[in-house]
Every structure is written in C-alpha cells, then in structure tokens.
Chains A and B, each alone.
Chain A
Amino acid sequence: DAGITQSPRHKVTETGTPVTLRCHQTENHRYMYWYRQDPGHGLRLIHYSYGVKDTDKGEVSDGYSVSRSKTEDFLLTLESATSSQTSVYFCAITPSRDTDTQYFGPGTRLTVL
C-alpha cells in the first residue's frame, strides 16, 4: 500500500469556522490531489499540486485553499466552513503524469453543522 495518511479521519465543526485537513505521504511523489466525494457526484477535484509551492485549482475550488511547503504534506483549508462542504475528502498521490495512476488516502469525513 502507498504510504499515504490523512488527518483527522473524522471531524464535526460549525458553520463559519476554519478547518484544515492534512494529507501526508512517505512515497516522495511529486503529484498530490484533493477530492471531495458526495452521493451522486463521484469524485470531484478541488485542488492539486505538481510540487512544493506549485498548486492549481480543480473543478470545485471555491471556498477552499491549499498549501504545500514540503513534498510530503498537502494541506486543504476550508476558510469558512459551510454546510455544503459536508463531505468525504480524499487525498491522492501519483508518481508520474505519464499515467496518473492515483493512490488514495483513507479519507476524512467532515460534517459542518
């Protein structure tokens, strides 16, 4: 299994509070991704990173920001959480853009009340 962890695994928070989710990898892979998964919508890309301090927006980036100061860590921040951001968040890593085979972390279940 790819060495990829997410923290926290579960979180309940209130509307308007900031939330940061962490993705940590031990594979030294260059490419990292954040997705959200909701019933009926599959996996939707929020942000992705091609390397340290090199990030770009995905299809559902509004209300989210990311940072990558080290190869192994990719942080996702909800600047002011809303109930519509209640979801399961998955981090993924891939070693190469040639194939983009992705390896997923265990997920974080976030509930915004």
Chain B
Amino acid sequence: GQNIDQPTEMTATEGAIVQINCTYQTSGFNGLFWYQQHAGEAPTFLSYNVLDGLEEKGRFSSFLSRSKGYSYLLLKELQMKDSASYLCAVYNTNAGKSTFGDGTTLTVKP
C-alpha cells in the first residue's frame, strides 16, 4: 500500500523561501509529483521527479531521495499568489495510478 505524509498547514512571508516536505512509504515507486491547487480550483501539475536530486523550474524546485522516501518542494521569492494547497503524489507503475497525500495549505502573508 501507500502512505504519504505532508504537513497540513504552513505560513510564510512574502519574499521569503519555504520548503514543503513529503515522506512516503510505498510498495512500488516510479516517481513523485507535486501539484498546486488554489482554493476552489483544480490541481495543476508542478513537477515530476523520477531520479534522486534537485530539479529547478523558475522559482520552484523539487527534490527527491528515493532511498529515504523523501521529497520536498522549495518555493523561492514567495508571492501572495503562491498561497495555495500543494499536493504530493506517488506514482506506482505496478498499480498504474498515483496516490495523493492530503496536501499542505500554504498561506503567504505580507
């Protein structure tokens, strides 16, 4: 089965850096996704990590350690529009589907 843990809520200040962690235990692993979801809207794709290491995409970076079952999403130069929920999801090729964590609600304050 899959067990995915991420913090429920985080608060950060505009212009700062925030790191959202995700840990997982899984019987099969192909890759890890991060999605962003603004209140009242659908989730949208942010990143997909298959190999260990850091992948950078503009202000957002995502890190994966397969041996530790650990990932984080790093948001730099926070903006008010970054206030949203961030969903971690593990893809299992054996099952052919992704399992989502409960999401981390990030609030960015002025």
Contact = CB atoms under 8 A, between A and B. Distances in A.
Interface of A: 33, 35, 40-45, 48, 50, 58, 90, 97, 99-107
Nearest to B50: A99
B33 A104 contact: no
B97 interface: yes
Interface of B: 30-31, 33, 35, 41-45, 48, 87, 89, 91, 93, 96-103
A100 B103 contact: no
Contacts, number: 50
Given A43-B100, A45-B97, A50-B96, A101 B42 contact: no
Contact of B43 (A48, A100, A104): A104
Contacts of A99: 31, 48, 91
Nearest to B88: A42
A58 B95 CA distance: 10
Contact of A102 (B96, B98, B102): B98
A43 B31 CA distance: 18
Contacts of B31: 99-100
